[in-house]
Amino acid sequence: MKRTFILAHDLARQRAIQAVQDAPEGYCVEVKEQTRTTMQNSLLWALLTDISTQVEWYGKKLTPADWKDIFSAALIKCEVVPNLDGTGFVALGQRTSQMTKRQFSDLCELIQAFGSERGVKWSDEAREVA
């Protein structure tokens, strides 16, 4: 059974300690920074959608998912390897679902700066969440 505790106050810490003490032999404990929030994820997709509808990349319109790959690769400094049949390349790197809140914030700031440099008019969705 997996249990997650946000260490936001003393009671949460006490419950986490108790869960560790009650855990069966062989269980694993991981303490890490919290990953992205739902609000950050909503902002990301609003920004990516605005970019995809307003910016051409080397003469092509890209999907929001394509832009996510481009921005994630830029932020993480991914390694690029040839694809299986040698007709293109694949960027290897971190998935946004595994990013910390700080990394995710940096990603959204990168997208906003890129879009602003290119005159993107941000949608209400992008402005409301930001």
Per CATH, is 34-129 categorized as 1.10.3790.10? yes
Is residue 122 within 8 Å of residue 50, measured between CB atoms? Answer: yes
Which carries the bigger pLDDT value, residue 23 or residue 96?
23
**Range(s) of the chain covered by CATH 1.10.3790.10:** 34-129
Stretch 31-38: mean pLDDT, rounded? 83
- Banded model confidence at residue 73, pLDDT cuts 50, 70, 90: confident
pLDDT at 35 (0 to 100): 79
**pLDDT > 70: what percent of the chain?**
98
112 bridge partner residues: none
Looking at residue 129, its pLDDT comes to: 63
Give phi and psi for 16, each to the nearest 5.
-65, -45
Give the list of residues 6+ apart from residue 97 with CB closer than 8 angstroms, or none: 35, 36
